[in-house]
Structure 1
Amino acid sequence: MNIHPVILCGGNGTRLWPMSRGGYPKQYLKLTGENTLVQQTALRLNGVRNVASPIVITNAEQRFLVAEQLRSVDITPSSIVLEPMGRNTAPAVAVAALLARQQSDDALLMVLPSDHVIANEAMFAKLANDAAAIARDNYLVTFGIEPTEPHTGYGYIRSGAGLGSDGAYLVDRFVEKPDSATAQGFLKEGNYYWNSGMFMLKAATYLEELGRHEPEILKQAELALQASTRDADFIRLDAQAFAACPSISIDYAVMEKTEQAAVVAAAGLGWNDIGSWTALAEIEASDEQGNALLGDVLTEDVSNSYVRAEHRMVALVGVENLVVVETADAVLVAHRDRAQDVKKIVEQLNESGRHESVTHRKVFRPWGSYEGIDQGDRFQVKRIVVKPGSSLSLQMHHHRAEHWIVVRGTARVFNGDQVLLLSENQSTYIPLGVTHRLENPGKIPLELIEVQSGTYLGEDDIVRFEDNYGRVQ
């Protein structure tokens, strides 16, 4: 009976702004260690027995990002499912269960958010194996985190009768996020756990319970998968059917209603969902003044602060209890006690239509990346990197012309009727309205500087005629 991991790659990038953004949520960031959070999630599966290749659930905008990040750590998903819109976790897990059941009627699902930190990976593997043994008996198992403080930001699970396995219990009830006094009572009573959002489920059992309690979700998930299309390595769910799915979490749809819910006590896991900059600060090493300093940071008379410099030197003098996060195009300064309110800044950015809530200055594409260097009236300058063997779409622009200067590597340029091969220090000019394409035929990354000039320089001034990544308009 294989375990089919289901890695959920959703999120809107608000809680860890300015590093996390709508188009680049926190699971794709290297916040703790050398790998991104989604890479860590996939790699820690290596210690679990009988694990199949993971099923990844994401959206069309992030499909190449998650595929590339997993490829770079030698992880090949069995499927990358693209949701046309977010519908919470119950429909996503239903689609994954339907896919896993195609491979085996007895398939188990291990549902994992992609943006959690788990310090003790050996304990994770043990708990996963323990939970699998319980799920094989048709229990729907959630991982309950033993609370270390009366946290009001998590839902709680009250354990009931034991299941015979050490640390495994029936679920007595699920509890919404409590107020401080209620959370204190839970901690004192001792049989409550934080709801981690991780689950071990037999696919067939989950689908049966979903059909009993939320039949419309099951029906629409089946229709969305039946009418899905294959796009290279991706499964695109049918938009009309999936849109008709009620947007409900797995907790509300099934776990709180079924009589087969169980909880495994995850003690010593070192779990953190990194729900805020303060939460991230708590798991970083601190100096004698209680400061967690990352990057090029200088301090004088600073205490109990989290300071992260990504691109420039950051200096602080005579302050305490701050969160300071510097990126290429934005700087956040917040009191540690108000770090959760960063989402209000994101709301302001969205209301004013600013791109800083969605994209970074460096934007990743399936062919590589581009980064804004400078801009002004009627011009902007970008640094473009194209991966070996990759190419941009065949395209044209109505409002801008472009100059390309090769800095490193070799470029094959289709410029109207011309085909040019350019090497370092060579350049070409793309007039306004001329069809063009850029390719990297070499074995090393192609780096070039692009100077755009014109009356309008937005990214939506692209008319695509051919594209290797399904983006033709």
Structure 2
Amino acid sequence: MLLGLLDVARRAPDATLAIFPSDHFVRNETMWLHHVERATDTVAHLPEKIVLLGIPPDRVDPGLGYLEPRRPLPLGGGAPAFEVSAFHEKPTTSDARRLIAGGALWNSFVLVFRLPAILMLLQRSLPAAVAGLCGRNDPTGLERAYRNLTPWNFSRDFLARIPDSLVAIRADDVGWSDWGTVEAIERTLVALGRNPPWGARGTPRWRRRESHSSIATADQRLANFT
């Protein structure tokens, strides 16, 4: 991601950018875009902030990131926006349960921000990573730079360190799912009344681990998004 940001900075240094993961599912695209527009408006008012779309959890999932909202921001109508007191990347199951009980939101990893703001924050948090890639345009230089870089995680090593620079937009009624696992895809398809094409051999693995009441709750929740 850093290399892409630096590339955009060479062509449009004052740009406002939105980052969308490629492996997510959204049922209500109209409402989803409404929340993205809300995030863009928030960045226009708070150009020094990184705005993330936060999803209200419907289960305990230690495989996701969690945003702990703090004070609501007085930004007028639209989806609620909050300061962030802490960012937790893939907590333990017990910590995830505690965070949900306290009102935490899942991190959808959809981010909206001003390019100068995020590059300044990256420079402060990960100066060696930024210095290692700055000005590396040729393939040979990039290959050498990547060999010398220390691996780092955008969520754990960056976002989790700058909660005061984050804003969370609560994205309700979108039917969101992170399709990073087969189980997540199966969960969505079954909730939509569609059998996974690979499920003909038997009950999907995730259904054996969850109670029928949990399935019914998830099905009803997604049905309400139509």
TM-score, normalized by length of structure 2?
Answer: 0.78
Write the distance in 1 (CA, Å) between the matches of 2:207 and 2:49.
44
Question: 1:369-396, CA deviations, whole angstroms, 9 ceiling, x for partnerless residues?
Answer: xxxxxxxxxxxxxxxxxxxxxxxxxxxx
How far residue 216 of structure 1 moved from its aligned partner, in angstroms, is 0.8
Equivalence for 2:128:
216
Does structure 2 retain, via aligned residues, the 8 Å contact 1:97–1:204? Answer: no
Aligned counterpart for 2:179 among listed residues 242, 249, 274: 274
Aligned counterpart for 2:87 among listed residues 153, 156, 174: 174
Q: How many residues align?
A: 204
Write the distance in 1 (CA, Å) between the matches of 2:207 and 2:71.
43
Write the distance in 2 (CA, Å) between the matches of 1:164 and 1:244.
45
Write the distance in 1 (CA, Å) between the matches of 2:204 and 2:93.
23
Does structure 2 retain, via aligned residues, the 8 Å contact 1:162–1:169? Answer: yes
Query: What SS does structure 1 have at the residue aligned with 2:189?
Result: coil
What letter matches 1:138 in structure 2? E
Aligned counterpart for 1:227 among listed residues 124, 128, 138: 138
Write the distance in 2 (CA, Å) between the matches of 1:119 and 1:291.
14
Distance 1:115 1:176, change over 3 A: closer
Write the distance in 2 (CA, Å) between the matches of 1:160 and 1:96.
31
Question: 1:340-388, CA deviations, whole angstroms, 9 ceiling, x for partnerless residues?
Answer: xxxxxxxxxxxxxxxxxxxxxxxxxxxxxxxxxxxxxxxxxxxxxxxxx
Does structure 1 retain, via aligned residues, the 8 Å contact 2:89–2:160? Answer: no
What letter matches 1:126 in structure 2? H
Does structure 1 retain, via aligned residues, the 8 Å contact 2:82–2:169? Answer: yes
Equivalence for 1:321:
203
Write the distance in 1 (CA, Å) between the matches of 2:207 and 2:59.
21
Question: 1:399-427, CA deviations, whole angstroms, 9 ceiling, x for partnerless residues?
Answer: xxxxxxxxxxxxxxxxxxxxxxxxxxxxx
Write the distance in 2 (CA, Å) between the matches of 1:248 and 1:256.
12
**Does structure 1 residue 203 correspond to structure 2 residue 115?**
yes
**Does structure 1 residue 244 correspond to structure 2 residue 148?**
yes
Does structure 2 retain, via aligned residues, the 8 Å contact 1:159–1:172? Answer: yes
Write the distance in 1 (CA, Å) between the matches of 2:158 and 2:199.
41
How far residue 174 of structure 1 moved from its aligned partner, in angstroms, is 1.1
Query: What SS does structure 2 have at the residue aligned with 1:223?
Result: coil
Aligned counterpart for 2:24 among listed residues 96, 116, 141: 116
What letter matches 1:321 in structure 2? T
Aligned counterpart for 2:49 among listed residues 139, 155, 160: 139
Instruction: Select the structure that is richer in strand.
Output: 1
**Does structure 1 residue 128 correspond to structure 2 residue 44?**
no
How far residue 206 of structure 1 moved from its aligned partner, in angstroms, is 0.9
Equivalence for 2:102:
189
Distance 1:335 1:255, change over 3 A: closer
How far residue 251 of structure 1 moved from its aligned partner, in angstroms, is 2.0
How far residue 267 of structure 1 moved from its aligned partner, in angstroms, is 1.3
Distance 1:209 1:179, change over 3 A: closer
Write the distance in 2 (CA, Å) between the matches of 1:200 and 1:217.
21
Question: 1:184-240, CA deviations, whole angstroms, 9 ceiling, x for partnerless residues?
Answer: 3323222x011222211211111111111111111112133x3348xxxxxxx7210
Q: Higher relative contact order at CA 8 Å, sep ≥6: structure 1 or structure 2?
A: 2
Distance 1:142 1:291, change over 3 A: closer
Does structure 2 retain, via aligned residues, the 8 Å contact 1:150–1:187? Answer: yes
Distance 1:135 1:281, change over 3 A: same
How far residue 286 of structure 1 moved from its aligned partner, in angstroms, is 6.5
Write the distance in 2 (CA, Å) between the matches of 1:196 and 1:160.
18
> Percent identity at matched positions?
22
How far residue 264 of structure 1 moved from its aligned partner, in angstroms, is 1.3
What letter matches 1:139 in structure 2? K
Write the distance in 2 (CA, Å) between the matches of 1:268 and 1:291.
20
Does structure 2 retain, via aligned residues, the 8 Å contact 1:152–1:183? Answer: yes
Distance 1:179 1:123, change over 3 A: same
How far residue 285 of structure 1 moved from its aligned partner, in angstroms, is 4.3
Equivalence for 1:254:
158
TM-score, normalized by length of structure 1?
Answer: 0.39
Does structure 2 retain, via aligned residues, the 8 Å contact 1:160–1:170? Answer: yes
What letter matches 1:164 in structure 2? P
Distance 1:178 1:146, change over 3 A: same
Write the distance in 2 (CA, Å) between the matches of 1:177 and 1:146.
16
How far residue 253 of structure 1 moved from its aligned partner, in angstroms, is 3.6
Query: What SS does structure 2 have at the residue aligned with 1:240?
Result: helix
Equivalence for 2:219:
none
Query: What SS does structure 1 have at the residue aligned with 2:169?
Result: strand
Equivalence for 1:100:
8
Write the distance in 1 (CA, Å) between the matches of 2:30 and 2:194.
29
Write the distance in 1 (CA, Å) between the matches of 2:124 and 2:99.
31
Question: 1:417-441, CA deviations, whole angstroms, 9 ceiling, x for partnerless residues?
Answer: xxxxxxxxxxxxxxxxxxxxxxxxx
Query: What SS does structure 1 have at the residue aligned with 2:122?
Result: helix
What letter matches 2:199 in structure 1? V
Write the distance in 1 (CA, Å) between the matches of 2:167 and 2:116.
16
How well do the aligned residues superpose, as a CA RMSD in angstroms? 2.8
